[in-house]
Each structure stands twice: as C-alpha cells, then as structure tokens.
Structure 1
Amino acid sequence: MDISHFSERINQTLSTLTYGENPTELYAPIRYMMELGGKRVRPLLTVLGAYLFQDNVDKVLLPAIGVEVFHNFTLMHDDIMDGAPLRRGKQTVHEKWNTSTAILSGDVMLVKAYELFLGIEPDKLPQALKLFSNCAAQVCEGQQLDMNFEQRQDVQIEEYLLMIKLKTAVLLGFALELGALLNDASPADAQHLKEFGINMGIAFQLRDDLLDVYGDQAKFGKRVGGDIVSDKKTYLLLTALERASATQKLALEKWQGVNGSDEVDGKVQAIKELYDELDIQNLTQNQINHYFQKGLHHLNEVNALNSKKELLRLMAIQLIERDS
C-alpha cells in the first residue's frame, strides 16, 4: 500500500460530496473553493493516522474530508482578511463573488465540516468534537496573532513560532490525532501522532517562509519575495533583525513600508543580500531540520508497524523538501 492509494480514496470521497443547491450564490462558491485543488495533506494525514492501527479506513474517510472542508473554510476567510486576489492561481471567492458571499459561504463550510463528523461512532463522537472545537479555536487564535503582528514592530521569534503553531501546525496534529482516535489507538499513541503533526506543521511553514525568498519562481507558483514586499514578519526577517549589526538593522528597517511598483524588485534584492550576509537561509534550514527530527522522534514512539509509519515519514519528507 502506498500514499497514492489513500490519496485516490480521498479524492473519490470528495467527488461524491454535496454541499447544497439553493440559493446558488451560497453554494456555488463552496464547490468552487473545494475544486481549486491543493495537496489534500490534512485528510491524508487523518487516513494515514488511522491506517497505522487498522487496515480498514472506511469509517475515517468522511471525518477526514471534514478536516479538509474546515481547512478550506479557514482559507476562504483568511483571503478576505488578507485582501488576497488569488488562491492557487485562481480568483479568490471574495473577488469572484463578493466579500459578504465569501463570509456566508465560509460559515456554511464550517457547518458542513461538523456535519461530516456526525457519522463517527457514538462512543467516540464527543471526544472527536471536543478535540476539533479546541483545534478550530486555536487556528483562529493563530490568525488573530498573525494580524496583530502586522501592527507591531517588536515581534519576537518565539512569538512567531507560537503563531505558526496555532495557525498552521495544530490542524496537522489534530488530523493525525483524529485518525488515531477513530481506529482505536491508545491515548499515548494518539498524543505522539499529534506531536509529530505539530512539529511537521511548524517545519512545513518554515519551509514556506524559506521558499518565499529562495524558491524557484517557476515552481513556487507565486511571486518569490512576496513576504519581503509586504513586510511580513517571517522567521527569516525576525532572525535577521535579531542577528544584524546596527548598520545592517538600519538597512533592513529602511526598506520597511517601501512597496512602490518601481521599488519592490530593488527591495527584494537588497533584503535578500542582507539575508545572505547573515546566513539566514542556513539558519532557517537548521530550524526546519530541528522540528523535523523532533517530529520523527514522536513518530518513532508510536506503537505501530514500521512499514506503516514509513508512509508518514515519507510524507513528512515530501512536505519539508518541497519546492512549491
């Protein structure tokens, strides 16, 4: 059994899903959002987490899709808050329709996510919903911190790592924990899987930060240097500010707020050169490796067949070595 087998089952299940018909303006944006694609990482983690403990993953498929619907709900609302024009190379929902429609359609997606959990066995349903609700609240906390950071000039590296843990990583951890719970893992094994997912999620986001500066434009799928242009407080920028000499810090700060169309290329190049002087690429890669190894430690502690755990290890490698 390989990862593609489980990906195919997830896609088959997704293709059978219905969201509603009328009013069309409410449900068409949901179908549009769900059909934009993506890596389907989170439902795949749920199914692989379940597969560790039992070969049969049928009962996990719909809750796994619930995790994916929730993830896409957060993206739809994040796009509104960020004023993003594109998602996966296509118009965002609020651009294609309007902001009010995107808010309301997103709300329905959250409701649908909960609905997809209702087939969980009655003895496991309360715990699954409690874990999901807690995770969903943490994702919102992370998004709020991210927005708060836009207005602050004193963000610390540890604060940033906490923000990406909440905004991105906890959902990966929950996805694995849910699969473990539904296929009767022990509490200890479920916790180790959750920690594996959280650490991989942090590494995943740090890789995204790195690709934004050092990625191949043709493969990355969006403008390289976008975080620099928008003055986003990433791990790279915060580490550079922490390590910079007084002169280098002044140079970094000079570019903050510069976003004119005729200036952004120079801004990206100048800050990238400062990052190179400060060895930021290697420092970030070291941090990615730290979280990757920390995550693998938790995966190794899970009481399951090594051949099954290998699927998750391979998936983790793909996530943190990706170039897009």
Structure 2
Amino acid sequence: MKSFKELVASFAEVFNVSHFPKEPAGLYEPADYFLTIGGKRIRPVMCLMGNELFGEIVPDAFHVATAIELFHNFTLVHDDIMDKASLRRGLPTVHTKYDENTAILSGDVMMVVAYSYLNKINVSYLSKILGLFNRTAREVCEGQQLDVDFERRNSVSLPDYIRMIELKTSVLLAASLRMGAILGGASEGNQNELYEFGRNLGIAFQVQDDYLDAFGDPEKFGKDVGGDIRQNKKTFLMLHALEVANTQQKNELLSLMEENPADKVERVLQIFRDCDVDGWAKSLKQQYLDKSMKHLEDIAVVSSRKKPLRELADFLIQREH
C-alpha cells in the first residue's frame, strides 16, 4: 500500500508530460501553461486510492486519473474567467496572461483530451466509468450555476448552500474515489460507501475552507483572511449568522454588505463571534467528518488498507488555523 504522498509522486511521473500537440500553439500553449501552475492533484490521486483500496493499481487507473485532472483544470480555467480572477496559485490566470477567447478554447480542449484518456481504458469498464464521469461533469456545471444564481439572490437556505457545495466540489472527489474502486473490482455496496466517504469529506472540507477564510491564521492559511466577507459571498458562516442574529445584528450585517466600509471585515467578524458562528462551524465540520469516517469504516476491506484514506482526510481537514 502506498501512502498519499507516494501516490502523489507516482501520479506526477505520469501526468507531468505534455498532453497536447504543438500546433496551433495559440490553443495548446496556454493549456500547457495552466497545467504547469501545478496544484495538489488531490482528485486524480483519490482515483488511485480508490483502486488500491481493493487491489493493485491497474494501468487504467492512471488513464482515468489523468482524465479527472484534465477535467478539473478545465473547470478552473473557466471558473477563473467567471470570477474575473487575475491570479491562481500566485501566477496569472489563462485569460489574464492571454485573453478570454483563448482561455475558453484552451479549457474546452482540456475537456476533449480528458475523454481521449477515458477512451484508452479496458472496454469492460468503459460504460460504467463514462456514465459516472458524465454525470459528475454535469453536476459540477449545475453546482457552478447555482453558485452564480445565489449571488443574485437575497436569501439562500443552508440546505440549498450545502447542495450547491455538494455539486460544485464534493461530487468530483466522491466520483474520483468511485471510479478507482470500479477499476479495483469493488462491489456495488463498497463503491457506494466509498462515494459517501468522499461526498461528506468534501462538504467538511468546504465548511473548513469557509471557516479559515474568516478565522484562519493568514501565514498558515496562505492568503489574507476575510476575502469572502469582502466579496459578500454567502458562505456557511454568513448564512448561519443571518439565521441566528438578533434584529440589530442582522440589520448591521445587511448594511455592511451593501456599504462596504473600510472596517467591514473586522465588524462582520465581531458579529460572527457574538453569534458563536466560529463554534458552530467547527461543530458542523465535525458532523460531516464523522459521517465521512463512518462510511469509511463500513467499507468491507481490512482496516490497514484504509490507512491512506485516513491520511487523506487528515491532510484535507486537520488544519485548524
């Protein structure tokens, strides 16, 4: 059994090559550029882990993992355009370095090449893998649209927000694990448990991300805190604060979101603390993490084989500040 870090290194060896032709350079160079920005490669490695949970990693798992990573990067290129983001991981985004039309096409071609990798796998698995991949790709688009819709809405319920996060973030983590499990010969029951492990872990991760954006240590978190507050994002924290705040606090939150004063972040954080939003968020994260670990426990393989997945959960979640 390989550790999470070892699997990251194994995937990097396979993935860190050019996946595109040289010409036309205007199309493929930006795609190559974006992939060299890097990233944690969590989703493709989850595919390898899903396979290894049930047996030796098969070559097809690397084809599927590559397709997953190309799809994920396609979504990031397009997300950056939609968010008007100028930087990703400290480097210029594709539409900033080149232009929007180039970024749209370069993202599109990543998606096309992702399917060419799926087409390399053993035909006996192709229908199941393709069906899950397509469903997940559609769900990610649905989640992104809900995120856009929520920006225009005055109120969003917590269940609606969790559903959006599930579609936008969690389903790809869950499906990556399940695709690996399919290739590893897992039973339907074990595939379902593994999928639910990934889905709940993804929600816990997003709750934590919202929490760290507000309450994290900037040096450890890697970016300035309060970005979501400045952008008036309807995060878990803001939705809960608006739900539990008294009339005065609620009115102040709403006016801060409209007026954007210089001390906005500090004032919003004070209301969050007064409403115990930080304690509530930690508790919510733990609820989803506990659900996730229960599904991992219920997978019918020997406990020692689950160690890399426990390491993954630690890597994603155990960052308090």
Deviations 1:102-140 (A, max 9, x none): 000000011111111112210110111111000000000
* Equivalent pair of 1:236/1:284 in contact (CA under 8 Å): yes
Matched, 1:145 2:146: yes
Specify the SS of the correspondent of 2:124: coil
Deviation at 1:17, TM superposition (A): 4.1
Deviation at 1:55, TM superposition (A): 2.0
Deviation at 1:221, TM superposition (A): 2.5
**Stretches of 4+ aligned residues off by more than 4 angstroms:** none
In angstroms, what is the RMSD of aligned CA positions?
A: 1.2
Matched, 1:20 2:13: no
In the alignment of these two chains, the number of paired residues is 320
Deviation at 1:70, TM superposition (A): 0.6
Partner residue in 2 for 1:93: 94
Where does 1:249-268 land on structure 2 (aligned, <5 Å)? 249-259=250-260, 263-264=261-262, 266-268=263-265
* Residue ranges of structure 2 left out of the alignment (5+ in a row): none
Partner residue in 1 for 2:75: 74
Where does 1:149-298 land on structure 2 (aligned, <5 Å)? 149-259=150-260, 263-264=261-262, 266-298=263-295
Specify the SS of the correspondent of 2:259: coil
Specify the SS of the correspondent of 1:255: helix
* d(CA) in 2 for partners of 1:216, 1:29: 34
* Equivalent pair of 2:177/2:195 in contact (CA under 8 Å): yes
Specify the SS of the correspondent of 1:128: helix
Partner residue in 2 for 1:3: 4
* d(CA) in 2 for partners of 1:210, 1:231: 15
Match of 2:314 among 293, 317, 321: 317
Specify the SS of the correspondent of 2:258: coil
* Equivalent pair of 2:58/2:183 in contact (CA under 8 Å): no
* d(CA) in 2 for partners of 1:154, 1:98: 34
Partner residue in 2 for 1:36: 37
Deviation at 1:323, TM superposition (A): 6.0
* d(CA) in 1 for partners of 2:259, 2:100: 28
Match of 1:304 among 286, 298, 301: 301
* Equivalent pair of 1:89/1:221 in contact (CA under 8 Å): no
* Equivalent pair of 2:210/2:237 in contact (CA under 8 Å): yes
* Equivalent pair of 1:229/1:258 in contact (CA under 8 Å): no
Deviation at 1:305, TM superposition (A): 2.3
* d(CA) in 2 for partners of 1:32, 1:124: 32
* d(CA) in 2 for partners of 1:273, 1:205: 22
* Residue ranges of structure 1 left out of the alignment (5+ in a row): none
Counting aligned pairs with the same residue, the percent is 43
Deviations 1:73-112 (A, max 9, x none): 1011011011111111111111110011000000001111
* d(CA) in 1 for partners of 2:60, 2:81: 34
Letter matched to residue 214 of structure 1 = F
Letter matched to residue 150 of structure 1 = E
Specify the SS of the correspondent of 1:20: coil
